[in-house]
Amino acid sequence: MAQVGGLRGRGGVRLRPPLASRATPCRLEGPPWRARRVLVQGAGPSARYAHTLSLVANRFLVAMGGNDGKSTLGDAWALDTSEKPYQWRKITDAGDMPSARCAATQIA
What are the sequence ranges of the domains in the chain? Answer: 2-90
DSSP 23-41: -EEEEEETTTTEEEE--EE
Give dist(CA 54, CA 2) in Å, integer.
6
Between vectors from CA 4 to CA 99 and to CA 9, what angle results, nearest 5°?
A: 55
Report the range out of 5-9, 16-20, 93-97 with the highest average pLDDT: 93-97
Tens of pLDDT, residue by residue over 34-48, are: 877 778 888 889 988
| 21-70 pLDDT tens trace | 556 677 778 788 887 777 888 888 998 888 998 889 989 989 999 999 89
